[in-house]
Structure 1
Amino acid sequence: MPTRLNPYLSFDGNAREAMEFYQRLFGGNLVLSTFGEFGTEGDQADQVMHAMLETDSGFTLMGSDVPPGMEHAPGNAITVSLSGDDSDELRGYWNALSEGGIVSVPLERQMWGDEFGACADRFGTPWMVNISPPRG
């Protein structure tokens, strides 16, 4: 899988509705995971932990509902996401982006099996890096 650069949108409880709208608009394949699938109980269990829409046109759009304790600030709801399976390339990006910035989630293995980290670079741009295991 090549490394890709795509928007990651944050929603305040309506990520499923928004991502299904984008799927109707752009077409393609939508995959959704809920917080409940990873052990969260209660009101947030049915909310979207991660969604990815891949279209026939080559668009990739990702999004999620904000987790408890995180502020949803429309206008500040976009994070740039780098993802793929080229570990060396993505670690290089992570190291450069996080240097002099603020790391909110260290780059480390997560419950879904990938390595993931989140930071704001020294210019204040929010970034997420996700390294998937190589396929094949």
Structure 2
Amino acid sequence: MPTRLNPYLSFRGDARAAMEFYQRVFGGNLVVNTFGEFGTEGEQSDQVMHAMLETDSGFTLMGSDVPAEMDYEPGNAITVSLSGDDGDELRGYWTALADGGIVSVPLERQMWGDEFGACVDRFGVPWMVNISAPRG
């Protein structure tokens, strides 16, 4: 397998719902492993130890629940960016990600010529979508 760089998202108890949501948005194959599968008993046994979504578009998104005994502080230091020139595909992702979330920049034509939008999805993950304008 070649080396790859991809987002790894942390959640507090709703990683499964978030990763299933992203699978509905992007499609692909989702593999979820729980803490219970690796010997954890009790309340956290059904929480996600590791989840990986691999899509037909080549995206890989990973995530997990942060155990209760570990610090969890959602932050704004990372934003997941989707960009390209397939407007229909990217607008579809935007619509799904923004649904139930907070839009800070509506997806619309910007001064640099591209369509761009920014939102925080229903799970608190920030996203940017940029649709490249035809150059020429």
SS at match of 2:7: strand
The equivalent of 1:43 in structure 2 is: 43
- Structure 2 regions of 5+ residues with no counterpart? 79-136
Aligned equivalents of 2:31 and 2:46: distance in 1? 14
2:67 matches 1:32: no
Give the aligned partner of residue 18 of structure 1.
18
In structure 1, what residue type is equivalent to 2:61? L
Q: Structure 1: where are the runs of 5+ without partners?
A: 79-136
RCO (CA 8 Å, sep 6+): is it higher in 1 or 2?
1
In terms of Rg, which structure is larger? 2
Q: Which has the higher strand share?
A: 1
- Count of aligned positions: 78
The CA distance in 2 between the partners of 1:15 and 1:72, in whole Å, is 13
2:5 aligned partner: 5
| CA distance in structure 2 between the aligned counterparts of 1:55 and 1:43, rounded to whole angstroms | 31
Which whole-Å CA distance do the structure 2 matches of 1:2 and 1:53 have between them? 17
Give the conservation status (yes or no) of the 8 Å contact 1:9–1:77.
no
Preserved CA contact (<8 Å) 1:15 1:63: yes
Identity within the alignment, %: 83
Partner of 2:55: 55
* C-alpha RMSD of matched pairs (Å): 1.4
How far 1:69 sits from its partner (Å)? 1.8
- Residue correspondence of structure 1 range 47-86 to structure 2 within 5 A: 47-75=47-75
**Runs of at least 4 residues off by over 6 Å:** none
TM-score (normalised: structure 1): 0.55
With the length of structure 2 as denominator, give the TM-score of the two structures.
0.55
